[in-house]
Chain A
Amino acid sequence: MVKKLQGEAFLLSANELRTGKVVFFTKKGWSSSTREAIKIKADEINKYEEISIREEKKCKIVSAKFVELDDAGNIKTLRDKIRNCGITIKI
């Protein structure tokens, strides 16, 4: 997970194991909102990777990943934006 990362700041995200729902890591645990998600600096990645492994072991989440933020602190890539905001089409 760490190797490919570029960029300065990230959020730790994952899918909830039971529902598949996209969640972000906050001080109080996992939340579906990015509002309180912890902003992670590049040099803290290892620490949070360990946290994600621990959380996966607890069967709370699956497929943890770091979501890159842009200079303004917003989610950078379209894929991650869609992951966060949901599908862009009407059903």
Chain B
Amino acid sequence: MYKYSDTDKKIIASRVKQFENQVNRRLEGKLTEEEFKPLRLMNGLYLQLHAYMLRVAIPYGELSSKQLRKLAFIADKYDRGYGHFTTRQNIQFNWPKLPDVPEILNELSLVEMHAIQTSGNCIRNISSDHLAGLTINEIEDPRPWCEIIRKWSTFHPEFSFLPRKFKIAVIGCDEDRAAMLVHDIGIRIIKRHCQVGFEIFVGGGQGRTPIIAKKIKNFLPKKDILNYLEAILTTYNQEGRRDNIYKARIKILVQELGIERFKSLVEENFSKLSNKELEIDKKSIEEIFQYFRLPPLKSSSDKIPLEDNQEYKNWIKQNVIPHKIKGFSIVQISLKEPKKPPGDATSNQMKALAKFSEDFSFSEIRVTHEQNLVLPHVPNKELFNLWSQLKKENLATPNLGLITDTICCPGMDYCALATARSIPISQKISNHFNNYCKQKEIGNLKIKISGCINACGHHHVGNIGILGLDRRGEEFYQITLGGSAKEDAAIGEIVGPSFSETDLIDAIEKILNTYKKHKKNKGEDFLSVFRRIGIKEFKKDLYDNFTEKS
């Protein structure tokens, strides 16, 4: 795991001091809200419906047990005993008080964490594959590259006031577990003629104009990564629109210019970059890679314990995957326990997980963009033991990748921008499909729910996407089908008129019935069937007897 250098430590500590000063000036009336707002946003502090909200960065989703324990401490001391893990691998605290925030930031700095660049029109927290460094088919670990990009982008003076926020994801294999293609820049590590480099995608995003990123570079040598990113960002900074917030993201620029024209501008900027300091040499790359070495895992022929316990067996089947080192497993912890808001973890659960990670996983925890957690290096022989302990903490829900493993934004329960609630919808789904066998029968299926068109809950790329709308003061839900956030990324199609909260579960059941009717074999999942038969069949079944006349 990356360790702060002395310079990193100094920067973070001085930033805390700076913000403390700003908060004091605000409380004394020396700064107006208008002046203070951009300053607090630069430190991850929002004002929500009924409280402040602090978003803390978890770079590329990696946490140590010490850090997780600190998050639990903050949840207990300054908040209401829980935190919310987000689709960008961050954590949000929903109830901090303004005078406490500098102290919270100070606590975070003690464990090398901060809230910088979790908001505002800058390069946000770099996200990555939560299985980075753990799987056999990975070309190279993407985390060191995230760290290299993080170092370059944090406080980059030119890119602190971009036309709009900017999100980058890096992955290290063909499989995309980081929704890389709906990021402003997506980077995939690839191998060409025995040389490892990058494939670069640009202009993806969600929000009110969802777009899948387009490829801008087939192969970029490693040494050029920062120069090339600098060229893209410079082009965006120069050409991106600042006159209209809805047209300000890079995706709109790429769309308006066309990828070829955009690419030629980037290439021109790239060729002009005389800043050789940004070229990275082998030695500095190696230095960063040192931080991300696997812990000392000794391969073994240890098998997963067989126990005569159905719940345990379900959990093994659903939540546990093989580690690249024989004798170890990757344990995925579902934060989609029935009746709980997706992505929420209580401070007690955080503390328990910190302890489990120390006992079973070399003190390491990962956060996934699907709002779950991972214990990355668990010896097979400990799996039953771990499961028994997780179960006591309600952390052993066996639903990874199934219908109740929903992604969900905070929606109108918290968010000032929401047009409808989203958490109660995910809870309804979770209650309705609570049975494991029923879920297994439906198979792999991603439901993603957002409380407004900003799409923080990724509804555009859900196999079934649900978008909360306000229709004359009432909550309605629009359904999209066929979206995907993976390597075959696609934006879902709107199935038709929206549904009231009462009719929504019934609509989902009908959609599932259409799927079951057309499924050719047991292994054909929802998305494959959708792609084979198209949206019409679903519409036909869904709206035949439907009386809503909208």
For residue B27, CB closer than 8 A to chain A, the reply is: yes
Per-position binary interface string of chain A over residues 59-84, scored 1 when its CB falls under 8 Å from any chain B CB and 0 otherwise: 10011000000000000111100110
- What is the CA–CA distance of A90 and B82 in the complex, to the nearest angstrom? 12
CB of B424 within 8 A of CB of A21, answer no
- What is the CA–CA distance of A87 and B84 in the complex, to the nearest angstrom? 14
CB of A20 within 8 A of CB of B48, answer yes
CB of A79 within 8 A of CB of B49, answer yes
Report B-chain residues with C-beta under 8 Å of the C-beta of A21. Answer: 50-51
Q: Which of B291-299, B398-406, B410-418, B514-522 interfaces with chain A?
A: B410-418
Q: In B395-433, which residues have CB < 8 Å from any A CB?
A: 412-414, 416, 418, 421, 423-424, 427
Knowing A17-B98, A78-B412, A79-B412 are in contact, say whether A56-B50 is a contact too (CB < 8 A).
no
Knowing A20-B52, A87-B414 are in contact, say whether A56-B80 is a contact too (CB < 8 A).
no
CB of B414 within 8 A of CB of A59, answer no
For residue A22, CB closer than 8 A to chain B, the reply is: yes
Least CB distance, A7 to chain B, in whole angstroms:
12
For residue B157, CB closer than 8 A to chain A, the reply is: no
CB of B473 within 8 A of CB of A22, answer no
CB of A56 within 8 A of CB of B33, answer yes
For residue B243, CB closer than 8 A to chain A, the reply is: no
Per-position binary interface string of chain B over residues 434-475, scored 1 when its CB falls under 8 Å from any chain A CB and 0 otherwise: 000000000000000000000000000000000000100101
For residue B97, CB closer than 8 A to chain A, the reply is: yes
- What is the CA–CA distance of A83 and B28 in the complex, to the nearest angstrom? 26
With CB as the reference atom, state the residue of chain A lying closest to B27: A59
Least CB distance, B484 to chain A, in whole angstroms:
28
What is the interface size of chain B, counting residues whose CB is below 8 A from a CB of the partner?
36
With CB as the reference atom, state the residue of chain A lying closest to B417: A79
Residue picked from A17, A56, A59, A87, most chain B C-beta under 10 Å: A87
Interface size class of A (residues with CB under 8 A): 20 to 34
With CB as the reference atom, state the residue of chain A lying closest to B36: A62
For residue B29, CB closer than 8 A to chain A, the reply is: yes
Binding site of A, secondary structure by majority: helix, strand, loop or mixed?
loop
CB of B339 within 8 A of CB of A20, answer no
Residue picked from B33, B50, B52, B339, most chain A C-beta under 10 Å: B50
Per-position binary interface string of chain B over residues 324-361, scored 1 when its CB falls under 8 Å from any chain A CB and 0 otherwise: 00000000000000011100101000000000000000
CB of B97 within 8 A of CB of A20, answer yes
CB of B473 within 8 A of CB of A76, answer yes
With CB as the reference atom, state the residue of chain B lying closest to A62: B33
For residue A89, CB closer than 8 A to chain B, the reply is: yes
With CB as the reference atom, state the residue of chain A lying closest to B49: A83
CB of A63 within 8 A of CB of B33, answer yes
Report A-chain residues with C-beta under 8 Å of the C-beta of B82. Answer: 91
Knowing A87-B413, A88-B421 are in contact, say whether A20-B50 is a contact too (CB < 8 A).
yes
CB of A59 within 8 A of CB of B28, answer yes
Knowing A78-B475, A89-B413 are in contact, say whether A62-B50 is a contact too (CB < 8 A).
no
CB of B80 within 8 A of CB of A91, answer yes
For residue B149, CB closer than 8 A to chain A, the reply is: no
Residue picked from A22, A76, A82, most chain B C-beta under 10 Å: A82
Knowing A17-B98, A91-B80 are in contact, say whether A86-B50 is a contact too (CB < 8 A).
yes
Least CB distance, B538 to chain A, in whole angstroms:
29
For residue A6, CB closer than 8 A to chain B, the reply is: no
Report A-chain residues with C-beta under 8 Å of the C-beta of B221. Answer: none
With CB as the reference atom, state the residue of chain B lying closest to A90: B339
CB of B412 within 8 A of CB of A82, answer yes
CB of B29 within 8 A of CB of A59, answer yes
Report B-chain residues with C-beta under 8 Å of the C-beta of A34. Answer: none
With CB as the reference atom, state the residue of chain A lying closest to B81: A91
Report B-chain residues with C-beta under 8 Å of the C-beta of A82. Answer: 49-50, 412-413, 421
CB of B97 within 8 A of CB of A91, answer no
With CB as the reference atom, state the residue of chain B lying closest to A60: B29
Least CB distance, A60 to chain B, in whole angstroms:
10
With CB as the reference atom, state the residue of chain B lying closest to A70: B473
For residue A57, CB closer than 8 A to chain B, the reply is: yes
CB of A89 within 8 A of CB of B98, answer no
Q: Which of B47, B412, B475 is A20 in contact with, Cβ under 8 Å?
A: B47
Per-position binary interface string of chain B over residues 46-65, scored 1 when its CB falls under 8 Å from any chain A CB and 0 otherwise: 01111110000000000000
Q: In A17-49, which residues have CB < 8 Å from any B CB?
A: 17-22
Least CB distance, B113 to chain A, in whole angstroms:
22
- What is the CA–CA distance of A83 and B51 in the complex, to the nearest angstrom? 9
For residue B534, CB closer than 8 A to chain A, the reply is: no
Q: Which of B52, B97, B99, B423 is A89 in contact with, Cβ under 8 Å?
A: B423
- What is the CA–CA distance of A36 and B182 in the complex, to the nearest angstrom? 48
Report B-chain residues with C-beta under 8 Å of the C-beta of A17. Answer: 26-27, 98
Knowing A18-B99, A19-B97 are in contact, say whether A58-B29 is a contact too (CB < 8 A).
yes
With CB as the reference atom, state the residue of chain A lying closest to B46: A20
- What is the CA–CA distance of A88 and B82 in the complex, to the nearest angstrom? 16
With CB as the reference atom, state the residue of chain A lying closest to B33: A62
Knowing A62-B33, A89-B341, A91-B344 are in contact, say whether A19-B413 is a contact too (CB < 8 A).
no
Residue picked from B48, B80, B340, B421, most chain A C-beta under 10 Å: B421
- What is the CA–CA distance of A56 and B80 in the complex, to the nearest angstrom? 27
- What is the CA–CA distance of A78 and B421 in the complex, to the nearest angstrom? 9
Report B-chain residues with C-beta under 8 Å of the C-beta of A59. Answer: 26-29
B interface residues with partner A (beta carbon < 8 Å): 26-29, 33, 47-52, 80-82, 95-99, 339-341, 344, 346, 412-414, 416, 418, 421, 423-424, 427, 470, 473, 475
Additional A-B contact list (4), CB under 8 Å, known A18-B99, A91-B344: A21-B51, A22-B49, A78-B473, A91-B80
Q: Mind listing 6 A-B residue pairs with CB under 8 Å?
A: A17-B26, A19-B98, A62-B33, A63-B47, A78-B470, A78-B475
Rank and list the top 5 A-B pairs by shortest CB-CB distance, nearest first: A20-B51, A20-B52, A87-B413, A59-B29, A22-B50
